[in-house]
Amino acid sequence: MAQTAEARITPRAEDYPKWYQDVVREADLAEPAKVVKGCMVIKPHGYAIWEKIQRELDNRFRATGHENAYFPLLVPQSFIQKEAEHVEGFAPELAVVTHAGGEELEEPYVIRPTSETIIGHFFAKWISSYRDLPLLLNQWANVMRWELRTRLFLRTTEFLWQEGHTAHATHEEAMEEVLRILHLYGDFAEGHMAMPVVRGRKTASEKFAGALESYCIEAHMQDGKALQAGTSHDLGQNFGKAFDVRFQNEAGELDYVWQTSWGVSTRLIGGLVMTHSDDDGLVLPPRLAPIHCVIVPIYRNDEQRARVLEAAETLRRELSAIDLSEPDARYRDFLEVVIDDRDMRPGAKFYHWERRGVPLRIELGPKDLEKDQVCTKLRVDTPVQSGKAFVPRAEFVATARKLLVDFQDALLARAREFQARDTVVIDTWDDFVAAFAGEKSVFAWCHWDGTPETEAAIKEATKATIRCIPLPGQGPDDGPGTCIKSGRPSAGRVLMAKAY
Digit-coded pLDDT (tens) for 443-478: 999 999 999 999 999 999 999 999 999 999 999 989
Specify the pLDDT at position 76. Answer: 95
Specify the pLDDT at position 5. Answer: 47
What percent of the chain lies above the pLDDT cut of 90?
A: 93
Specify the pLDDT at position 2. Answer: 43
For residue 282, pLDDT over 80 is answered with yes
Alpha-carbon distances of 236 from 210, 243, 287, 374, 378, rounded to whole Å: 9, 13, 36, 59, 48
Mean pLDDT over 134-146 rounds to 97
Specify the pLDDT at position 84. Answer: 65
Specify the pLDDT at position 403. Answer: 98
What percent of the chain lies above the pLDDT cut of 70?
A: 98
Mean pLDDT over 349-363 rounds to 98
Reported as a pLDDT band with limits 50, 70 and 90, residue 66 is very high
Specify the pLDDT at position 81. Answer: 87
For residue 172, pLDDT over 60 is answered with yes
Mean pLDDT over 13-24 rounds to 97
Specify the pLDDT at position 87. Answer: 66
Reported as a pLDDT band with limits 50, 70 and 90, residue 83 is confident
Shortest CA distance to 64 belongs to which of 189, 181, 214?
Answer: 181
Q: So where are the chain's domains?
A: 16-276, 286-419, 423-497
Specify the pLDDT at position 342. Answer: 97
For residue 48, pLDDT over 60 is answered with yes
Specify the pLDDT at position 328. Answer: 79
Reported as a pLDDT band with limits 50, 70 and 90, residue 6 is low
| The CATH number of the domain covering residues in 423-497 | 3.30.110.30
Reported as a pLDDT band with limits 50, 70 and 90, residue 331 is confident
For residue 88, pLDDT over 80 is answered with no
- What is the pairing mode between strands 226-236 and 213-220? antiparallel
Specify the pLDDT at position 207. Answer: 96
351 vs 339: CA distance, rounded Å: 15
| Architecture of the structural domain at 286-419 | 3-Layer(aba) Sandwich (3.40)
Q: What is the mean pLDDT of the chain?
A: 96
For residue 162, pLDDT over 90 is answered with yes
Q: Which tens digits make up the pLDDT trace of 202-249? A: 999 999 999 999 999 999 999 999 999 999 999 999 999 999 999 999
For residue 142, pLDDT over 60 is answered with yes
For residue 442, pLDDT over 60 is answered with yes
Mean pLDDT over 295-303 rounds to 97
Specify the pLDDT at position 1. Answer: 41
Domain 16-276 in CATH 3.40.190.10: no
For residue 170, pLDDT over 60 is answered with yes
For residue 20, pLDDT over 50 is answered with yes
Specify the pLDDT at position 124. Answer: 97
